[in-house]
Every structure is written in C-alpha cells, then in structure tokens.
C-alpha cells in the first residue's frame, strides 16, 4: 500500500522512476507534436508505428540517453520504457529468460494471441513453462537438426518444388494474359506458398493448394487481425462480436484453424515431414498451442520478410539483376553459406534491418533490475516496468546505422552497406539488427524461415522482372510489419 502511495506521489511529481547514469527521458501523454497518443487506444491501434514515433517527438530536445530511451509514467500504472538504443536492446534481451530476476516476455501486447493460440506456447509463456516448451518444440526447427546435410537437402528440394509450382501458375497466367506487364498484389500469393511449405512440406500433410489459399489463409489472416483487436479491446471483443453477430464469422475461422492444427499434427503418428525427427513423449494436446503459433506466426513472419524483400527489390532493378546472375544456374540454396548467392543474402539482411517483421520486442521487469550495456552505461529499472525494445526505430536511427557509421543513410535500403561495414571492420555480430531477436528467446524458426524466404525471393527473380506500382511504399503494422500496398508490382516475364 505504502509503495502504491509513494509511487503515485512520485508519478504526480513527475520524478524519474529510473536510476543510473543512462537515464531515459520523460514523454508526456498530451503533447501537441505527437502524431497519435503514445499509448494504444481503439482509435490509434492500427497505427502502432506512429505510437512509437510519438515517444520520440520530444526527444529532439533531449540529449544522450534521454534521446534514445523514453518513458511514460502515468499515475496508477507501471512505467512504460521504450528504447531504440541497440546497446540496451541487446543487454535486455540477453537478460530475458527463466532465471531468477531475469526479464519476462511481456504478454500484455500479445494477450489476444494468447487467447487465440493458448497461453502455454513457446511464444507466449514465461518461466518454467517456457523452458519446458523450448526443450520440447525448438528441436525440430533447430539449425543442428534441420541443417544436417541430407535432411536439409530433402527439405530444400521439396520447398523448391512447391515454390516452382506456384510461380509457374503465376507465369502461365502472365503468359496467357497476352500483356507484356501485369499488375498484381503479391501478398496473398506469398501467404499461400508460405503456408503450403509449412503445412505440407514441413509438417508432412497433403492439403490441396486451393484449400490452403482460399480457406485456410483467409481464416488465419482474419484471426491474426482479430488477435490484434482483441488485445487492444482488453477482452471486450467477444461481447462486441455477439452484439454485432460477428461471433459466427470468428467461430467459423477458428474452426478452420483447429482443423489445420489437426492436419499439421496428423503426420506425427506416421513420422511424416519434420515429425520423423521428433522424439518426445508429450501428448498432442501439449503441442497444440505451439503448432497454432507456428502456423499463424510463421506464415505472418515469413510473409512479412519475403513481402518486404520483394517490395524493396521492386524499387531496385539493379539488385534484381545482381541476384538473377547468381541464381539463374543455382539448383541448391543454403542461406547460411555466404559465399553462395551473396547478393541475395545481402538483400535479405538489409530487408530485416530496414523493415524487420517484428518491429518491437516486449519485455517486463520481474524485479527491480540493474541493466548494464557493453559500453558500461547503467540503468536501474523498477519492477513491473513494461519495456518495448523498439527495433524498428533503432535500425532507422542515423546515430546507430547512418552515413557516419555504415556509409549510407539509416532510412534507405542499401544492401551494399554490409560490404562497407565489413571494410570498416564492423562485423554483423557487432551490428545487430535483431531481425530474429537475440539471447535465450531468439527465434527457433530462423533457419527454416530463411530457407523459405530465400527460395521464394530467388525464384521470383529467376522468372520475373518486377517494378513497384508506386514510387513509395509505406509500411503498415499489426502483429508484424508489411508493405502497405500488399506488395503491388508490375510483373514482366524474363526471356
């Protein structure tokens, strides 16, 4: 009680709740310069990137750490700390885990995901439950498992075949149209092929492509949007849906999601796809939440990644040609072999830097915690603080990624910056873009995701030349970021 009073008093006085020599700067709730309020509301939640932007409106007047780490401290609520400082982002991720005193993943911004997929998944859970799920579910995706040469080659070939078949359909439609160029929104095509690789190639199901594209993809897209709305409306959405009759649509899509989860799990009994290597006594029920997360989350993240890469390339024909020269005779792709398809790898790296799929990583302080960066700056973070590791703005900040450091402006797409950084002695290990996270909660699907995205982008370039429909592509964001135009491009067949 006393601590509640002293906290509220401190909040009313406007004292900084953080301590140390790297103090964050205060953000006011009402400021005429804010693009939108710096908290999600039913009116601004569709513009999360602008909510983050609001944290930095007053930052121009601040100096040093107060410019890059910002906090909001409202009476009756725990402080919210947003940081775009890569050193703090790295330190906090390294200190996230199940050990006493470590940070949790903050479940507040993903409450809707938890309600839709189950709270015991690898993505949503914390502490002992997370450790259990990690030991259970991370193994089939791990690099050491997936990238055993023979196994990798097997998946690579089936994935490649799937991508080729789908792009062949696009090619045939283009050839039949008789037009030299066709305008097409690629996002739905990417979603379908990503889901097909996961469900049929990886989990060993055999769902017809038309059903995946026309039934399961729309169900997942609907539910992912529903999860975002459900989070912001703090559990009131089911009631609102009842009043409007929308609950029937939700129920229909949720049933499709369950069916797809069953189809993905069905291969387990016969050891199909990745299940052949899955050694565990865990029941199917214990795996369900994870399978749901893998289906919805992986489709979302890989679509975002591939969609952005294709979108960036549609503005950069020179990089399309460089990649074409590499992939035209390539019949085997290993995303971790940097000597192979170098331009493709640079483009993918730069895509994740400039337009990361997951634009922020949420954390929560489980106890009062000191955090120290590698360059010895320290910040004391009070228990309960909601941390938002703002990867989107960190990677676009001129101070950390700009011309002086990398040779190119931070907010432009320039794959050549990675070569320049190398020349300057800056390794990718030092310059982290956090596209797959960092530390104990690093993405277990990285190898699988990179393979899928590399194959899709490589195959697109091999068959087509494509240019963006409009000179600028704005970003939109929900669970992940996406090109705002749905990857609208003019396609032209090569050769």
H-state helical runs in 84-236: 86-94, 111-117, 127-137, 143-146, 149-177, 187-196, 209-211, 217-232
CB of 330 to ligand HEM, least distance (A): 20
User: Of the candidates 48, 79, 267, 437, which one interacts with ligand HEM according to CB under 6 A?
Assistant: 437
d(CA 317, CA 300): 26
308 is a contact residue toward ligand HEM (CB under 6 A): no
Binding string, residues 84-113; x marks residues near ligand HEM by CB under 6 A: ---------------------x--------
User: Of the candidates 195, 256, 260, 453, which one interacts with ligand HEM according to CB under 6 A?
Assistant: 453
CB of 280 to ligand HEM, least distance (A): 16
CB of 227 to ligand HEM, least distance (A): 15
Closer residue to ligand HEM, CB minimum distance, 300 or 485: 300
Please identify which residue in the block is written with the tokens 């970021």: 481
DSSP E strands: which ranges in 414-486?
464-468, 475-477, 481-483
CB of 128 to ligand HEM, least distance (A): 13
Three-class secondary structure of residue 202 per DSSP: helix
Closer residue to ligand HEM, CB minimum distance, 302 or 314: 302
H-state helical runs in 267-283: none
d(CA 278, CA 289): 16
Q: Which of 301, 290, 344 is nearest to 461 (CA)?
A: 344
Binding string, residues 378-397; x marks residues near ligand HEM by CB under 6 A: --------------------
d(CA 379, CA 355): 28
**Chain residues 41-80 in contact with ligand HEM, contact rule CB under 6 A:** none
Closer residue to ligand HEM, CB minimum distance, 256 or 443: 443
DSSP for 109-136? GGHHHHHHH-TTSTTT--HHHHHHHHHH
Closer residue to ligand HEM, CB minimum distance, 298 or 397: 298
How far is CA 260 from each of CA 195, 447, 457, rounded to the nearest angstrom? 10, 23, 26
Which of 155-163, 278-286, 295-303, 332-340 is the region at the interface with ligand HEM (rule: CB under 6 A)?
A: 295-303
DSSP for 285-317? HHHHHHHHHHHHHHHHHHHHHHHHHHHHHHT-H
Binding string, residues 118-147; x marks residues near ligand HEM by CB under 6 A: ----xx----------x------x------
Closer residue to ligand HEM, CB minimum distance, 59 or 94: 94
By the criterion CB under 6 A, which residues form the site for ligand HEM?
105, 122-123, 134, 141, 293-294, 297-298, 301-302, 305, 357-358, 361, 435-437, 441, 443-445, 448-449, 453
């Amino acid at each position: 009680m006393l601590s509640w009073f002293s906290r509220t008093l401190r909040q009313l006085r406007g004292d900084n709740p953080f301590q140390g020599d790297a103090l964050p700067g205060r953000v006011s709730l009402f400021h005429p310069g804010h693009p939108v309020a710096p908290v999600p509301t039913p009116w601004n939640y569709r513009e999360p990137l602008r909510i983050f932007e609001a944290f930095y409106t007053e930052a121009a007047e601040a100096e040093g750490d107060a410019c890059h780490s910002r906090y909001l401290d409202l009476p009756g609520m725990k402080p919210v700390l947003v940081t775009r400082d890569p050193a703090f982002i790295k330190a906090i991720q390294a200190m996230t885990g199940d050990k006493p005193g470590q940070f949790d993943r903050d479940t507040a911004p993903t409450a809707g995901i938890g309600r839709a997929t189950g709270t015991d998944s690898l993505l949503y859970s914390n502490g002992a439950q997370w450790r259990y799920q990690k030991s259970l579910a991370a193994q089939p995706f791990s690099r050491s498992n997936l990238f055993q040469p023979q196994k990798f080659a097997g998946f690579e070939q089936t994935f490649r075949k799937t991508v080729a078949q789908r792009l062949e359909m696009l090619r045939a439609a283009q050839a039949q149209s008789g037009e030299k160029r066709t305008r097409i929104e690629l996002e739905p095509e990417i979603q379908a092929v990503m889901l097909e690789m996961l469900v049929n190639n990886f989990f060993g199901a055999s769902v017809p492509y038309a059903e995946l594209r026309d039934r399961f993809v729309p169900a997942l897209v609907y539910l992912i949007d529903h999860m975002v709305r459900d989070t912001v409306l703090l559990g009131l959405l089911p009631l609102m849906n009842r009043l409007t009759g929308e609950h029937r649509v939700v129920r229909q899509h949720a049933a499709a999601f369950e069916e797809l989860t069953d189809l993905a799990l069905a291969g387990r009994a016969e050891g199909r796809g990745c299940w052949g290597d899955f050694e565990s006594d865990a029941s199917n029920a214990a795996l369900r939440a994870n399978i749901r997360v893998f289906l919805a989350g992986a489709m979302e993240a890989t679509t975002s990644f591939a969609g952005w890469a294709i979108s960036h390339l549609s503005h950069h024909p020179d990089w399309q040609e460089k990649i074409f020269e590499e992939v035209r005779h390539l019949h085997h792709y290993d995303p971790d072999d940097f000597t192979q398809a170098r331009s493709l790898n640079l483009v993918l790296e730069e895509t994740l830097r400039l337009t990361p799929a997951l634009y922020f990583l949420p954390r929560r302080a489980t106890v009062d915690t000191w955090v120290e960066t590698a360059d010895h700056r320290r910040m004391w973070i009070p228990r309960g603080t909601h941390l938002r590791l703002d990867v989107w703005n960190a990677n676009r900040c001129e101070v950390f990624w700009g011309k002086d450091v990398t040779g190119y402006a931070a907010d432009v797409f320039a794959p050549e910056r990675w070569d320049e950084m190398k020349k300057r002695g800056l390794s990718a290990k030092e310059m982290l873009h956090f596209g797959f996270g960092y530390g104990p909660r690093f993405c277990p699907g990285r190898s699988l995701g990179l393979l899928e995205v590399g194959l899709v982008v490589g195959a697109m370039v091999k068959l087509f030349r494509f240019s963006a429909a409009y000179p600028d592509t704005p970003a939109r964001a929900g669970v992940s970021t996406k090109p705002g135009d749905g990857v609208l491009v003019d396609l032209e067949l090569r050769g």
